[in-house]
Structure 1
Amino acid sequence: MSPPSAMFAEPAPVSAPLPTKAPLKDQVKVAGNYSSTSTLAEVTSDWEKFTFNPIRESQVSRAMTSRYFKDLDNYAESDVVVIGAGSCGLSATYMLAKARPDLKIAIIEANVSPGGGAWLGGQLFSAMVMRKPADAFLREIGVPYEDEGNFVVVKHAALFTSTLLSKVLQFPNVKLFNATSVEDLITRKDAQGNIRIAGVVTNWTLVTMHHDDQSCMDPNTINAPIIISTTGHDGPFGAFSVKRLVSMQQLEKLGGMRGLDMNVAEDAITKGTREIVPGMVVGGMELSEVDGANRMGPTFAAMALSGCKAAEEVLRVFDERKAQNDE
């Protein structure tokens, strides 16, 4: 056995290794024929000599995955989670992110393409109708429209949706996780046994769709003191949060969406947008399943203004929910 002095002796100093040249597989030419200040006219001036800057396939993979997993890490603790990136969810996010740039906002959207049903006006028609005074929101985000008196018309619904989406995604405090589903809600009980929503349980949508024909694929989670749920009326992914509240016995039952009545529906949805249970604000057509509100059909004023009210409701209770979440 070695003597104690030998067992605990200081290790011999090791010289720092000399820098070595990166392996060939990691070496990539830094710049090609064009600089970061090249104009489009310069780039397209001579197609015979045109070539893209060089890249390795591994660089593409690392550029995507490193950022995605950094976002997963960063937003595992969020301030607000918005479920559903339709017109209501995006409007709510826009208003929140603008009012509170300090809040970290995660949007969870089940589809690859955000926007919900707002890419078309109705029955595959292009134009989007919004009743006044929702035209104020169009002016806020810079979408032109034709004034028809009591309502306005955007020439294509995709113009509204793409404009709103682009503005939301430019906020540095917002992250959209699309092709991602909410599979459950994180809950907490207070001393009296009352339930508070404290986040969401997520999975990639393709995984969610195949739970029945694959082995168990456990989900991921995002903690947040408050969520906004705007998953739309009942359907495959619709009204998810409020249906889950019923199964958790936090709502006795759903009211069920009533028949189409634009005049009644849009007022009811906008005014009724609120915190349904502590930690969950519900807006848009998901609310119709709670309150038994009428369907509104192909008019989008309430979608935008319900989102505005949802943002107000979050800010009204945020400090209280944040304090509860930190306990």
Structure 2
Amino acid sequence: MATIASSFTFTPQRHALFDSSSSFHGTRLAPPSLRFLSVKSDAQPSISVSASSSPPYDLKEFKFEPIKESIVSREMTRRYMMDMITYADTDVVIVGAGSAGLSCAYELSKNPSVQVAIIEQSVSPGGGAWLGGQLFSAMVVRKPAHVFLNELGIDYDEQDNYVVIKHAALFTSTIMSKLLARPNVKLFNAVAAEDLIVKGGRVGGVVTNWALVSMNHDTQSCMDPNVMEAKVVVSSCGHDGPFGATGVKRLKSIGMIDSVPGMKALDMNAAEDAIVRLTREIVPGMIVTGMEVAEIDGSPRMVCFLLFPFFIKWPVLD
């Protein structure tokens, strides 16, 4: 019985998945030239792949350059220690690398004279911005935040009052790759901000530790932390949770603010406007942004990702 063998060939012809008439805007994707061919055969079912050019190297002869294990250790250790020395006293420390923190860092670091350190307790920065609501892929972004997507070069599906990114990870991965390539930015992930440095009624930095140590202080002997001094601390720790709203909760516990009422029930239209309006220096030396604003002001919760860069930079730069 005849069977079908499929092969891939690269041609400039049709494939519905890559329709160039897509409604996505921004940086246009290069259209792949891919199509499927059906080939009659009496052999067993098989799939073959063919390309228009040969590989640039012989895989049978491929070999990485040799390296000593100690060199790998020294390179990682030396560079990380130099980063810790460089950013021990810096311009801005941003606590929390979710969409608010990343957007803030992106805007501030456009000025090459502003040194920005980002503290993120997770190994994987990005917070909840890797997915949309309820673990779905798409991210809905209300205008005018689409202007920021244009700047980053992210494609989206444009609607009347909003745009849709087909996968939230496109935003997070793109902004991180552009941000971390800048020489005046350092991300310290897997690092937690355990406390604040406060002198004379002004926040002057953060107390840091490895995140796994911070999560397990009650299971081991005391492990003292480290510090990072800063002219400004931006707290973008998100809404309440194990590592959420830690900045404002600590301000309350040391008596620098009166209360943290927590966010109200969801109202997207009211919430996003409130975040823009209420982002501010909450105490001398410390600015609060993102969902942490809703926690301290009792404003509604929301599903908001990309309004932050339009308003976060002015209080920090001032």
Shorter-chain TM-score bucket reads: 0.7 to 0.9
Partner of 1:290: 296
The ranges of structure 1 where at least 4 consecutive aligned residues each deviate by more than 2 angstroms after the TM superposition are: 41-44, 304-308
Match of 1:290, SS?
helix
Structure 2 match to 1:272: 278
In structure 1, what is the Cα distance between the partners aligned to 2:56 and 2:223? 48
Deviations 1:140-164 (A, max 9, x none): 1111111111010001000011001
Deviation of 1:42 (Å): 9.6
Three-state SS of the structure 1 residue aligned to 2:119 is strand
Q: Residues 92 and 308 of structure 1 are in contact (CA less than 8 Å); yes or no, is this contact kept in structure 2?
A: no
Residue segments in structure 2 that go unaligned for 5+ positions in a row: 1-52
Secondary structure in 2 aligned to 1:118? coil
Contact 1:91 1:308 in 2 (8 A): no
AA paired with 1:315? Answer: L
TM-score by length of 1: 0.79
* Corresponding residue for residue 7 of structure 2: none
Q: Which whole-Å CA distance do the structure 1 matches of 2:107 and 2:307 have between them? A: 10
Partners of 1:43 and 1:109 lie apart in 2 by 40
Q: Which residue in 1 is equivalent to 2:243?
A: 237
Match of 2:316 in 1: 314
In structure 1, what residue type is equivalent to 2:102? L
**Aligned residue for 2:124?**
113
Q: Provide the C-alpha distance between the structure 2 equivalents of 1:184 and 1:307, rounded to a whole number of angstroms.
A: 26
Cα separation, 2, equivalents of 1:42 and 1:109: 44
Aligned to 1:123, the other structure's residue is in SS state helix
Contact residue 114 and residue 178 of structure 1 kept, 8 A: yes
Q: In structure 2, what is the equivalent of residue 59 of structure 1?
A: 71
1:24 matched residue in structure 2:
none
- Cα distance in 2 for partners of 1:45, 1:216 equals 54
Residue in structure 2 matching 1:166, options 172, 177, 184: 177
> Mapping of 1:42-121 within 5 angstroms?
44-98=56-110, 100-121=111-132
Look up the SS of the partner of 1:71 in the other structure. helix
Provide the alpha-carbon RMSD of the alignment: 1.3
Change (3 A) 1:43 1:250: farther
Q: Note if contact 1:97-1:174 (Cα within 8 Å) is conserved in structure 2.
A: yes
Instruction: Note the C-alpha offset of 1:44.
Output: 4.8
Of 117, 134, 138, which residue of structure 2 is paired with 1:123? Answer: 134
In the alignment, the residues of structure 2 paired with residue 46 and residue 183 of structure 1 have an alpha-carbon distance, to the nearest angstrom, of 52
Amino acid at match of 1:75: Y
2:166 counterpart residue number:
155
- The alignment partner of 2:59 has SS state of coil
Q: Which has the larger radius of gyration?
A: 1
Give per-residue Cα distances to partners, 1:12-33, cap 9 Å, x unaligned.
xxxxxxxxxxxxxxxxxxxxxx
Distance 1:145 1:43 in 2: 34
Instruction: Show the counterpart of 2:30.
Output: none
Structure having the larger proportion of residues in strand: 2
1:127 maps to amino acid = A
Give 1:174-193 correspondences, 5 Å limit. Answer: 174-189=185-200
Normalized against structure 2, the TM-score is what? 0.82
Contact 1:76 1:222 in 2 (8 A): yes
Q: Flag the structure with higher helix content.
A: 1
After superposition, the C-alpha distances for 1:203-224 in whole angstroms (9 at most, x for unaligned) are: 0001101100100100000001
What percent of counterpart residues are identical? 58
In 1: Cα distance, 2:68 partner to 2:162 partner: 53
State how many pairs are aligned.
266
Q: Name stretches of at least 5 consecutive residues in structure 1 with no aligned partner.
A: 1-40, 190-194, 317-327
Structure 1 56/44 Cα, relative in aligned 2: closer, same or farther at 3 Å?
Answer: farther
> What aligned pairs does 1:193-232 form with structure 2 within 5 A after superposition?
195-232=201-238
SS of 2:80's partner is helix
CA apart distance, 1:131: 0.5
Query: Aligned partners of 2:278, 2:152: CA distance in 1, in Å?
Result: 24
Partner in structure 1 of residue 149 of structure 2: 138
- C-alpha contact (below 8 Å) 1:283/1:307 kept by paired residues: no
Q: Deviations over 1:28-49 (max 9, x none)?
A: xxxxxxxxxxxxx998520111
